[in-house]
Amino acid sequence: MSAITNHMPTEELQRLDAAHHMHPFTANGPLSKKGARVITRAKGVYLTDSDGEQILDAMSGLWCVNIGYGRDELAEAAARQMKELPYYNTFFQTTHVPAIALADKLAQLAPGDLNHVFFAAGGSEANDTNIRMVRTYWAAKGKPDKKVIISRKNAYHGSSMGSASLGGMGYMHAQGGLPIPDIHHINQPNWWAEGGDMTPEEFGLARARELEEAILEMGEDRVAAFIGEPIQGAGGVIIPPETYWPEIQRICDKYEILLIADEVITGFGRTGNLFGSQTFGIRPDIMTIAKGLSSGYAPIGGSIVSDEVAAVMAEVEFSHGYTYSGHPVAAAVALENLRLIEEEKMVEHVRDTAAPLVREHWLKLTEHEMVGEAVITGLMASIALTPDKSTRAKFASDPGTVGSICRDICFSNNVIMRHIGDRLVIAPPITITPPDIEEMFTRINRSLEQAASAIK
Ligand code: PLP
């Protein structure tokens, strides 16, 4: 059998892909008829496909390639580590330098007293750790009934049974009998879709106070933690009103509820600070990290926990861990990624250069007839598509139909945006340069014009 390589004709690669590869979050039948686009290499913010097309990746892969593609330093860090120590675990009284060094670095970088790291291979695993950790923490403190975790509708925290239960996607719960017990969902702070006549500020307070109502209803002795993404990413880049997070923080403090900030997307420069918690003034007890931790070059995630949580957990033998917790190669890649973020001042680049320029272009999209709100924090942005901005109306077609038409047109114009229902979102690499930003908006604007004609 001949080897399958980048040099094979696209149709042949697509045929083999359809024959044997099950894609995540995809109806594989329809995809197999159309054929998946085959990505062969990438550099900076550009992907190249098997037909030689250059595609501007305004989504950083799955919101993860923060430093951009093609950084040899990370490949070299992986090769060095693979030669020296490709694998060892940290379960049974052993450790290794990459895990020590990465945990030390994260303790320095994370805000407040988040000084202790439990590693995983990605965000779903890390959130599963969080479920078991907060319940174990409260049990160790003599409160075994304090185990309900409150999350939000339309949140995304991963795809495993636990993390998808934390998430608030009804269509995910419908598959596989979710959620698991003792997870409760309150409403999301999505002002555009659900704010009605309230101002964003009033709405932010109202939605945060649903947390307090839920705690009072269930009893604070039953509620272990609240989990939230500083900005809901996969839910459509829902940037909460300014009043939201301070009120959530106040409520968590008042009722002694652990606050988990899921920073899988918002971490590592995305919002113009190293962490979204800094952008929104959140003081989490636990922070979930993944994606930008290694810029997607190697699978790694984790939970960074406070001194207090770690002190209680230190007295427990926590029966939890993954074969790849703190994987030495992934940890070495993550360390190198963090070194580049710091040395090349990438967070400053977001704040001072990239985000202001993207913002200027992004807000102008509301001049377009189909674009209702345009919101942006750092390099994470969304627009809501609507047939009538004045009433914030929804399209008559099934939710997501217009969004998917727009997204497909973007794809054919070689710019990757994602559609989430009828919202379009971007999260480009944090290293994106002004010329690439101009090119990104040339392609986005052209696509939106074409989409408007297609939809009429
Ligand atoms: N949490 C958030 C906020 C995410 O956006 C994601 C993935 O998109 C996850 C958790 C799950 O991470 P992973 O896909 O690495 O398991």
Confidence check: pLDDT of 403 > 70:
yes
Confidence of residue 145 (pLDDT cuts 50, 70, 90): very high
Interval between CA 289 and ligand 1 midpoint (Å): 9
Q: Which atom of ligand 1 approaches the CA of 158 most closely?
A: 11
Q: Which atom of ligand 1 approaches the CA of 62 most closely?
A: 8
Confidence check: pLDDT of 10 > 80:
yes
What is the separation of C-alpha 320 from the centre of its chain, rounded to a whole number of angstroms? 24
Interval between CA 99 and ligand 1 midpoint (Å): 21
Taking alpha carbons only, the member of 226, 125, 233, 214 closest to residue 169 is 233
How much of the chain, in percent, has pLDDT values that exceed 70?
100
Interval between CA 86 and ligand 1 midpoint (Å): 25
Tokens found for residue 259? 């606050």
Q: How far apart are CA 363 and CA 239, in angstroms?
A: 14
Interval between CA 367 and ligand 1 midpoint (Å): 33
Confidence check: pLDDT of 179 > 80:
yes
Taking alpha carbons only, the member of 392, 368, 394 closest to residue 451 is 368
Average pLDDT, stretch 383-400? 93
CA angle, residues 298, 299, 304, in degrees to nearest 5: 115
Confidence of residue 217 (pLDDT cuts 50, 70, 90): very high
Confidence check: pLDDT of 1 > 70:
no
**pLDDT value, residue 296:** 98
Q: pLDDT, tens digit, for every residue of 294-323?
A: 999 999 999 999 999 999 999 999 999 999
Confidence check: pLDDT of 135 > 80:
yes
Q: Which atom of ligand 1 approaches the CA of 155 most closely?
A: 3
- Cβ 98 vs Cβ 87: under 8 Å: no
Interval between CA 127 and ligand 1 midpoint (Å): 9
Residue nearest to atom 12 of ligand 1 (CA): 123
User: Which of helix, strand or coil describes residue 236?
Assistant: coil
Q: How far apart are CA 16 and CA 28, in angstroms?
A: 13
Say what the ipTM of the complex is. Answer: 0.99
Confidence check: pLDDT of 2 > 80:
no
Q: What torsion, rounded to 10 degrees, do the Cα atoms 351, 278, 301, 160 define?
A: -110
User: Which of helix, strand or coil describes residue 155?
Assistant: coil
Q: pLDDT, tens digit, for every residue of 232-241?
A: 999 999 999 9
Render the burial of 282-295: b for 16+ CB within 10 Å, e for the rest. Answer: bbbbbbbbbbbbbb
Render the burial of 95-107: b for 16+ CB within 10 Å, e for the rest. Answer: ebebbeebbebbe
Burial class (CB in 10 A: 0-12, 13-18, 19+), 387: middle
Query: Which DSSP string corresponds to 178-192?
Result: -PPSSEEEE----HH
Interval between CA 309 and ligand 1 midpoint (Å): 23
Q: Bridge-partner residues for 301, per DSSP?
A: 120
Q: Which atom of ligand 1 approaches the CA of 262 most closely?
A: 3
Interval between CA 383 and ligand 1 midpoint (Å): 21
Q: Name every protein residue with a CB atom under 6 angstroms from any ligand 1 atom.
A: 62, 122-124, 127, 156-158, 229, 233-234, 262, 264-265, 290, 301
Interval between CA 123 and ligand 1 midpoint (Å): 4
Output Rg (C-alpha) for the chain, integer angstroms: 22
Q: Which amino acid is at 226?
A: F
Of 265, 288, 420, which is best to mutate to test ligand 1, by the most ligand atoms within 8 angstroms of its C-beta? 265
Which one-letter DSSP state was computed for residue 44? B
Of 127, 291, 324, which is best to mutate to test ligand 1, by the most ligand atoms within 8 angstroms of its C-beta? 291
Q: How far apart are CA 129 and CA 289, in angstroms?
A: 12
Q: How far apart are CA 30 and CA 414, in angstroms?
A: 21
- Cβ 158 vs Cβ 128: under 8 Å: yes
**pLDDT value, residue 455:** 87
Q: Which atom of ligand 1 approaches the CA of 263 most closely?
A: 3
Q: pLDDT, tens digit, for every residue of 83-127?
A: 999 999 999 999 999 999 999 999 999 999 999 999 999 999 999
Residue nearest to atom 13 of ligand 1 (CA): 123
Q: pLDDT, tens digit, for every residue of 149-176?
A: 999 999 999 999 999 999 999 999 999 9
Interval between CA 4 and ligand 1 midpoint (Å): 30
Confidence check: pLDDT of 14 > 80:
yes
Render the burial of 435-455: b for 16+ CB within 10 Å, e for the rest. Answer: ebbebbbebbbebbebbbeeb
Interval between CA 377 and ligand 1 midpoint (Å): 19
Residue nearest to atom 10 of ligand 1 (CA): 157
Q: Which atom of ligand 1 approaches the CA of 266 most closely?
A: 3
**pLDDT value, residue 181:** 98
Residue nearest to atom 7 of ligand 1 (CA): 158
Interval between CA 156 and ligand 1 midpoint (Å): 7
Q: Which atom of ligand 1 approaches the CA of 301 most closely?
A: 15
Q: How far apart are CA 39 and CA 53, in angstroms?
A: 9
Confidence check: pLDDT of 47 > 90:
yes
pTM strictly above 0.90: yes
